[in-house]
């Protein structure tokens, strides 16, 4: 009886470990790369800020609920910040310190864990997120938490919205 319990526990541990590895492979395979950016209609961030194909047609403040939901879940720059806007100076991949040095402190901020924190053996950079809200400008989202004690957050998403209230509801 004891040998059967040990075998059962060993089999269950292997299944759990393998399912965690399978999820990590699924999440890291092509994640945050050209594949996702193409599906979101976002051009790669190089010299000038990129905007999504839906944002070219409409300002961020007038977008539909589905456009806002899409922007909240994908990487890229959404909206069309004017050249004089502080958001026009931003580039994806900048650290949170670089951003605050460049455009100032946010009106409000929020941090939260993503579901990836619970995936065994996942050490990617999207375990935690940090949002900066700037009144009259929009929302910046940073990703981080790649290590056990990591405070390196990099710019993941910019949502330009001149009607942003600046406070988390």
Q: How many CB atoms lie within 10 A of CB 119?
A: 18
Please state, for a pLDDT cut of 90, what percent of the chain lies above it.
31
- Going by pLDDT thresholds of 50, 70 and 90, the confidence category of residue 150 is low
d(CA 86, CA 71): 19
- Going by pLDDT thresholds of 50, 70 and 90, the confidence category of residue 97 is very high
CA triple 158-121-116, angle to 5 deg: 30
pLDDT for residue 38 is more than 70: no
pLDDT at 28: 41
Three-state SS at 78: strand
- Going by pLDDT thresholds of 50, 70 and 90, the confidence category of residue 66 is very low
- Going by pLDDT thresholds of 50, 70 and 90, the confidence category of residue 47 is very low
Three-state SS at 2: helix
d(CA 30, CA 32): 6
pLDDT tens profile 4-18: 677 777 777 766 766
Residue pair 143/64 in contact by the 8 Å Cβ criterion: no
Three-state SS at 140: strand
pLDDT for residue 117 is more than 60: yes
Helix, strand, coil percentages, rounded to 5, for the chain: 40, 20, 40
pLDDT for residue 146 is more than 90: no
- Going by pLDDT thresholds of 50, 70 and 90, the confidence category of residue 3 is low
pLDDT at 46: 38
d(CA 60, CA 78): 7
Q: What is the mean pLDDT of the chain?
A: 71
pLDDT for residue 120 is more than 70: yes
- Mean pLDDT of the region 130-159: 85
């Amino acid at each position: 009886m004891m040998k059967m319990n040990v075998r059962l526990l060993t089999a269950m541990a292997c299944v759990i470990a393998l399912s965690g590895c399978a999820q990590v492979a699924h999440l890291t395979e092509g994640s945050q790369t050209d594949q996702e950016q193409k599906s979101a209609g976002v051009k790669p961030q190089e010299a000038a800020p990129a905007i999504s194909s839906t944002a070219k047609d409409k300002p961020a403040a007038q977008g539909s609920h589905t456009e806002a939901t899409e922007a909240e879940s994908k990487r890229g720059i959404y909206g069309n910040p004017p050249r004089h806007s502080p958001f026009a100076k931003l580039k994806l991949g900048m650290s949170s310190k670089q951003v605050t040095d460049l455009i100032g402190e946010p009106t409000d901020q929020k941090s939260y864990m993503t579901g990836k924190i619970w995936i065994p053996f996942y050490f990617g950079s999207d375990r935690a997120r940090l949002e900066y809200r700037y009144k009259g400008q929009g929302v910046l989202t940073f990703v981080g938490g790649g290590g056990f004690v990591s405070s390196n957050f990099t710019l993941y998403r910019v949502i330009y919205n001149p009607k942003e209230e600046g406070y988390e509801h």
